[in-house]
C-alpha cells in the first residue's frame, strides 16, 4: 500500500468516566457521538487493495468479504477510516438493532460459512474518524476537520440511506448527548463517546472519554474450577495485565446453568496446561483448605464481564459473564481499561464529614 497513513496503526482509545462531560463556558470543546457496540476496525483502501485491521491487529478482511467489496465500491481510491463493524438485525418489534451474536459468528475458520453469513447477515461499517483521504495525512488535524473529511469520503452528508459504509452522528449539545445515552440503548448501543473537537489523532492513547451504560471489563480466561458436583465448570478465573505486562488474577465468574457448565468444560478442558494436575490455588480468609484448586488453561480466550467494584486490584464480588470477545487479543486486556473511580472514601460518604 502507498497511502499517507499505512498499516499498522494502533487505534486511538477512550477512558471511562461516570458522566457526559459538560461544555466549558467559553464555547463548545466536546463533540459527542454514540458508542457503537461492534468490532473496532481501521480500514485502509488503496485502489484495489483493502486492509481491515482489528484493535488487536487481527486481519478482519477475510471474515467480512462483503465489506471489502463495499469499500471498493463506495469509498474513494485512497482513504483510511476508523470505525466499527456491526451486523444489523430486524427484531420482532419492527426495529433494527446491532446484533452482537450475529457479529461474533462471523469469526469462523471455514470460508464457506463466512461466505454464507456475508450473504445472510451482511455487516455495515459505521465510520467515526478519518486518518487519511487522498494524499492528505489527517492524523495531526483537529477532529472537527477529520470529521469533515469522513463525510467527504463516505459522501453521506445529511442522508444516511446508503449502503455498507455509514457515518456516526455527532452533536455538541450536552443535553442532546444525555438524551442519546438513554434513547439509543434500544438500538444496541452502549453509551456515549466525547471527543475534543480540536484534538489530534493519537494512536494507542486514551484521549477520548466514554460513558457506558454498565461497568464492564474484558478479561483473559486463565483457568477454571470444577463444579462442586464434579461435572462441568463451576467458575472461570480471570486475569488482567498490569503496566509491567504481568498477568494477575483478578477474580472469578460463576453461577452458570447446567448446560453452560458442560459447554464450558468441553471448551476449556482441552486447553489445560497440565491435563492431569490441578493448581492448588490460593488461600483466602474464606477458603483455608484445598478446595481452591483450579486448572490453568492456555491464555487464549477473552470475554467481557459485568462487575460493580474493584478493591486492591481485584473484583470485589463475583462477576457476571456477558459474552466472548473473539476480536480482542489477551495482551490487550489491561487494568487501564478500568479508569473509572471504583470506590469512595468513607468520609466523603458520611454526612457532616
Residue with cell 494524499: 135
CA distance 352 to 348: 9
Contacting residues for 332 by C-beta, under 8 A, at least 6 apart: 55, 56, 218, 302
**Band (128; pLDDT cuts 50, 70, 90):** very high
Q: What are phi and psi of 112, to 5 degrees?
A: -60, -40
Does the pLDDT value for residue 340 go beyond 60? no
Q: Report whether 104 contacts 114 (CB < 8 A).
A: no
Over residues 129-150, the mean pLDDT reads: 97
Q: Are residues 28 and 172 in the same domain?
A: yes
Q: What's the pLDDT score for residue 315? A: 85
pLDDT at residue 282 above 80? no
Rounded CA gap, 267 and 253, in Å? Answer: 16
Per the prediction, the chain carries an average pLDDT of 86
Q: What angle do CA 334, 37, 315 make, to 5 degrees?
A: 35
User: What is the number of structural domains in the chain?
Assistant: 2
Give the residue-averaged pLDDT of 144-171. 80
pLDDT in tens, 291-338: 578 899 999 999 999 987 776 788 877 899 999 999 999 999 998 887
Q: Which of 177, 212, 247 is the last residue of a domain?
A: 212
Confidence label for 181 from pLDDT (cuts 50, 70 and 90): confident
347, part of any domain: no
Cα gap 240→50, rounded to integer Å = 33
| pLDDT tens per residue, range 40-89 | 999 999 999 999 999 989 999 999 999 999 999 999 999 999 999 988 88
Domain containing 207 equals: 13-212
CATH code where residue 34 lies:
3.30.470.30
Asked which of 212, 238, 270 is the last residue of a domain, the reply is: 212
Q: Is residue 147 included in any domain, yes or no?
A: yes
Instruction: Check whether residue 32 and residue 178 sit in a common domain.
Output: yes
The C-alpha cell at 252 is 472469578
pLDDT for residue 345:
32
Say what the pLDDT of residue 316 is. 76
**Residue 349, domain member (yes or no):** no
**Which residues are designated catalytic?**
35
Residue 276 main-chain phi, psi, to 5 deg: -110, -5
- Do 180 and 303 lie in one domain? The reply is no
The answer, yes or no, to whether residue 352 has pLDDT greater than 90, is no
Most confident of 113-117, 241-245, 275-279: 113-117
Q: How far is CA 28 from the centre of its chain?
A: 28
The percentage of residues in the chain with a pLDDT greater than 70, rounded to a whole number, is: 88
pLDDT computed for residue 186 by the predictor: 63
How many CB atoms are located within 10 Å of the residue 55 CB? 17
Residue of 113, 198, 111 whose CA lies nearest to 147: 198
Amino acid at each position: 500500500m502507498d497511502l499517507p497513513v499505512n498499516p499498522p496503526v494502533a487505534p486511538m482509545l477512550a477512558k471511562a468516566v461516570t458522566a457526559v462531560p459538560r461544555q466549558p463556558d467559553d464555547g463548545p470543546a466536546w463533540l459527542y457521538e454514540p458508542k457503537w457496540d461492534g468490532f473496532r476496525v481501521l480500514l485502509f483502501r488503496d485502489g484495489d487493495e483493502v486492509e481491515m485491521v482489528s484493535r488487536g491487529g487481527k486481519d478482519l478482511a477475510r471474515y467480512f468479504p462483503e465489506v471489502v467489496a463495499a469499500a471498493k465500491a463506495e469509498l474513494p481510491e485512497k482513504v483510511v477510516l476508523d470505525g466499527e463493524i456491526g451486523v444489523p438485525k430486524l427484531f420482532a418489534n419492527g426495529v433494527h438493532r446491532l446484533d452482537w451474536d450475529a457479529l461474533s459468528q462471523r469469526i469462523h475458520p471455514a470460508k464457506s460459512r463466512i461466505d454464507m453469513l456475508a450473504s445472510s447477515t451482511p455487516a455495515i461499517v459505521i465510520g467515526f474518524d478519518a486518518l487519511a483521504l487522498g494524499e492528505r495525512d489527517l492524523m495531526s488535524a483537529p477532529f472537527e476537520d477529520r470529521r469533515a473529511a469522513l463525510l467527504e469520503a463516505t459522501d453521506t452528508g445529511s442522508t444516511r440511506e446508503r449502503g455498507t459504509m455509514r457515518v456516526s452522528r455527532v452533536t455538541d449539545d450536552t443535553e442532546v448527548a444525555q438524551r442519546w445515552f438513554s434513547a439509543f440503548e434500544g438500538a444496541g448501543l452502549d453509551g456515549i463517546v466525547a471527543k475534543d473537537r480540536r484534538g489530534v489523532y493519537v494512536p494507542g492513547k486514551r484521549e477520548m472519554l466514554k460513558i457506558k451504560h454498565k461497568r464492564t471489563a474484558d478479561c483473559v480466561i486463565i483457568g477454571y474450577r470444577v463444579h462442586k458436583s464434579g461435572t462441568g465448570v463451576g467458575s472461570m478465573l480471570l486475569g488482567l495485565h498490569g503496566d509491567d505486562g504481568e498477568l494477575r488474577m483478578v477474580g472469578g465468574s460463576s453461577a452458570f446453568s447446567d448446560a453452560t457448565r458442560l459447554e464450558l468444560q468441553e471448551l476449556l478442558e482441552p486447553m489445560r496446561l497440565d491435563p492431569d494436575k490441578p493448581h492448588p490455588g490460593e488461600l483466602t480468609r474464606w477458603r483455608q483448605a484445598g478446595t481452591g484448586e483450579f486448572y490453568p488453561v492456555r491464555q487464549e480466550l477473552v470475554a467481557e464481564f459485568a462487575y460493580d467494584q474493584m478493591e486492591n486490584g481485584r473484583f470485589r464480588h463475583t462477576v457476571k459473564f456477558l459474552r466472548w470477545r473473539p476480536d480482542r487479543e489477551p495482551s490487550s486486556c489491561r487494568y487501564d481499561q478500568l479508569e473509572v473511580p471504583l470506590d469512595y472514601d468513607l468520609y466523603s460518604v458520611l454526612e457532616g464529614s
